[in-house]
Amino acid sequence: MSKFLVAGAGGFIGGHIVNALLNNGQEVICADIKPLEFWFQFFDNNKNYSLDLKEFENCLKVTEGVDYVYNMACNMGGMGFIENNKAECMLSVLINTNLLRACKLNNVKKYFFSSSACVYNSSKQNKAFIPGLKEDDAYPADPEDGYGWEKLFSERMCRHFSEDFRLPTRVVRYHNIYGPLGTYDGGREKAPAALCRKIIKAKLNNINNIEVWGDGNQTRSFLFIEDCIEATQLVFNSSREYVFNVGSEEQVSINQLIEIIEEIANYKVEKKYLLQKPKGVRGRSSDNKLIKSIVGWSPKYSLKKGIQKTYDWIYKDITQNNNNNKFTKK
């Protein structure tokens, strides 16, 4: 049995990573800046630390005796959050930098960094329904301001720690991960969860409209959480140090995403477009050729199937539990 550290274990993807590792019989150390009661998933039998990994001493503490590290920790959210909190997002560079330093000193065997599709050159994303972005489309560098720059810099830091200090690193660029146990309210939620919430509440309250940021024609691809976790572990266990896209190639407009949710909900709404709200790049999708050829991964969930599972979970949480984003104890 190996010992894993999951940094950002109290977050959406981090919690699912912890669950997968435990199911594989691994020992897991969990760390997150959030108080334990606000973790998305909480596992009693682990060592669980609520501390700030921007501090080097805390990174040394949680990596001591650890074999492998998943760094899922950063300050992030949907487009509204990252456009309005650029400095806070960039401070996450301290987490990656200090974790890498601690891993070097504590002889960690392998390090995983969770990057983002926000690193991609914005000039290649100014039209709707663009071709999927290939990994080398991140350069010449012109990423999302703030959050995207932090992720791109941290990717380079991983690369150079691997080159200079022989610390094996793995990096993936996530494209809009969604699914059950994710946030769907409060300002950090992403489009699939936010739109599910809006349509559910409209239906429950007999309201015939929802607010939509932008004109609804901006496009994205969205990846279901179970596909994300499978790809993450395959990349981590691979012998190659490429940077990989982890996303879906099923590109849709926000209007098309709304239509999928309307069909699932069996409820039609009018759209009130808020053109002044943050909306990000015009179009973005993943090109999965590299990860498919090297790792052998491709998504199993269609967007409609994943949205159905997400909608059902949010509907149940709103109507039965009424405890949005309270932790799930296991």
Pair type for strands 219-221 and 251-253? antiparallel
What angle separates helix 254-265 from helix 191-204, to the nearest 10 degrees?
A: 40
What angle separates helix 56-63 from helix 93-105, to the nearest 10 degrees?
A: 50
CA 116/CA 206 separation, integer angstroms: 37
Element containing residue 57 per DSSP (H, E): helix 56-63
- Residue of 317, 327, 321, 16 lying closest to 196 (CA atoms): 317
Pair type for strands 243-246 and 3-7? unpaired
Cα end-to-end distance, the chain, whole Å:
21
What secondary structure does DSSP assign to 135-168, as a single string? GGGG-S----TTHHHHHHHHHHHHHHHHHHH---
139 is catalytic: no
Catalytic-role residue among 147, 301, 311, 315: 147
Which residue type, as a one-letter code, is found at position 207? I
- Residues 6 or more apart in contact with residue 189 via CB below 8 angstroms: 77, 78, 182, 183, 197
List the catalytic residues.
Answer: 147
